[in-house]
Amino acid sequence: MAEPQDPARRCGFVALIGAPNAGKSSLLNALAGRDAAIVTPTPGTTRDIIEVAHNIAGYRVLIGDTAGLRGPKNAVEAEGVRRAQALAGRADLRLVVVDAAAKDERWREGAALARAGDICVLNKRDLAPPPAGSAVAAWAAGCGLGVIDMSLIRGLGLAKLREALTVRVVQSLSGGEFPAATRARHRLDLVEAQRHLTRAARALTAPIGVELAAEDVRLAARSLARVTGRVDPEDVLDRVFAKFCIGK
């Protein structure tokens, strides 16, 4: 009989996707219980992926805030959108955050990346109670997405979302095998870790390459942590720097 899986060995990834100013960064902060992401009224504030490690039902889950999905206005924003799309493709679960008060169709950018089993968060219900957002809710139900009404400014729906996340995390990570999408994500993370470790090994052969090697080791550990949930980059760096005297 196989030994029971240790929950600490499993790690999941949740991607927050949607149009600019839908409330993704505010949702990340609410789930994290701290100001992990900058929130402003200016669309496009988030340019890169912001990851927060979260414990859900004993499992380590990384929640990633992403750049707003829209036609980019410059090269920096275009790169942010590209990274958001890539993360959405690798994530175990996508939260499609939609501004229920918005009058445009920008929410469809995030909808295009959704998969059956994901969750549609209809935010800003304090400004737009039902039937506002009925088209979004109908689309989500038709595509097999759960729908949660939310007002982050008032705390509406947050407890329900936490319950839904707990159910999904336990279903995805407690079984004998990861879902197929997770295995694909793990492969990408392992390839990335291998690339960083190869660069670190090369850097160590150079007279002043220790600092560069340490950074690649940190990045490799970060990739491995997404697979195992047990690697602490600081522990790895402590071992690296224990053998070298830097800055003297």
User: What local confidence, expressed as pLDDT, does residue 228 receive?
Assistant: 65
Q: Greatest CA separation found in the chain?
A: 67
DSSP, residue by residue, 215-237: HHHHHHHHHHHHHHS---HHHHH
pLDDT tens, per residue, the chain with 248 residues? 223 333 333 467 899 998 888 888 889 888 888 776 656 565 555 556 788 888 888 788 889 888 778 766 678 777 888 888 888 888 889 999 999 998 888 888 888 899 999 999 999 999 999 888 999 999 999 999 999 999 998 989 999 999 999 998 888 776 544 444 355 667 788 888 888 888 888 888 877 677 788 888 888 888 877 776 554 555 555 555 555 554 54
**Burial, 182: exposed, middle or buried (Cβ in 10 Å; 0-12, 13-18, 19+)?**
buried
Instruction: Write the class of the CATH domain 7-173.
Output: alpha beta
What does the alpha-carbon distance between residue 217 and residue 236 come to, in Å, rounded to a whole number? 7
Domain boundaries, the chain: 7-173, 180-241
CB 16 within 8 A of CB 110: no
pTM greater than the 0.85 cutoff? no
Contacting residues for 109 by C-beta, under 8 A, at least 6 apart: 18, 19, 69, 70
Distance of CA 41 to the CA centre of its chain: 22
